[in-house]
Amino acid sequence: MGFEVMAEKRVSRWYFGGLASCAAACCTHPLDLIKVHLQTQQEVKMRMTGMALRVVRSDGVLALYSGLSASMCRQLTYSMTRFAIYETVRDKVADGKQEPMPFYQKVLLASFGGLTGGFIGTPADMVNVRMQNDVKLPPELRRNYAHALDGVIRVWREEGIRKLFSGASMASSRGALVSVGQLSCYDQAKQLVLGTGIFTDNIATHFIASFIAGGCATVLCQPMDVVKTRLMSSKGEYGGVIHCLRDTAKLGPKAFYKGLVPAGIRLIPHTVLTFIFLEQLRLYFGIRVITSTA
């Protein structure tokens, strides 16, 4: 005679990913700013520490938070979209099934979510890069956007709506790679960690899985990230993605991994914080789902 055991689990709401990404971005924004500065150097003149000191000396500590509003806007468009697509579809597919979604399906779903989110978040992403890059330009060349919305409106009026989506193909491709590294690798790593029987669904598990996911995302997306950053911060010197790729390639293969260490130092903590915040939101404010096992 079998007994039915009722168990409760919490499922994320569709917007939790965007909120968690915003919270993480507030913590890691200075690292993101330094990464942009390093990637937009024509020659490798400074390392991470030197660039940080240069920014602080020339414009003050608050300059490390230049473009924070655009970064938040980017997370509320790009990250919220990709998390919403990935988690909503994943939970629908897994609803009522005992077995988790196969890894290849997670990769495909994360790719689609990242492509969509990357395209939607392109205007905020471009303004974010420009605002971060502004502090290292001479005063007469600075764009001086007051905030993200001001930047979007000014680009629209001064350069046209097409310019808002400059680099959209690169941003979408990068979004797909980052999402594969973060979302699908996090789910798979978490599944493997829990499968050992040593860990439970707690912060230690979330930390280990998100650290692995952050490393995967950094390696996957760095070449694309370098080209995207150079394209978005340009003042018309590139005719398109191919032109930018060729120009970057002239600097050698290492140019595509310029800023890899600061990118990892930024992306890994951002990934860890995002998933820790996301899991806490899920555990305390997620949708209650009752499951039964015989």
On the question of pLDDT at 278 being above 70, the answer is yes
The total domain count for the chain is 1
For residues 241 and 168, which has the higher predicted lDDT (pLDDT)? 168
Residue bearing tokens 């032109």: 243
- Write down the number of H helices and E strands in the chain: 13, 2
> Which token pair is 198?
């040593």
CATH code, 143: 1.50.40.10
Q: What pLDDT was estimated at residue 108? A: 97
Q: Which domain holds residue 148?
A: 5-293
Q: What is the pLDDT of residues 5-41, one digit of tens each?
A: 566 778 889 999 999 999 999 998 888 888 777 766 6
CA–CA distances in Å: residue 102 to residues 94, 187, 191, 192, 235: 10, 10, 11, 13, 44
Per-chain mean pLDDT for the chain:
86
Average pLDDT over residues 92-121: 90
Q: Which of 115, 72, 65, 107 is nearest to 90 (CA)?
A: 107
Q: What is the pLDDT of residues 209-265, one digit of tens each?
A: 999 999 999 988 888 778 877 776 777 777 777 788 888 888 887 788 777 777 788
Q: What pLDDT was estimated at residue 135? A: 74
Q: What pLDDT was estimated at residue 293? A: 56
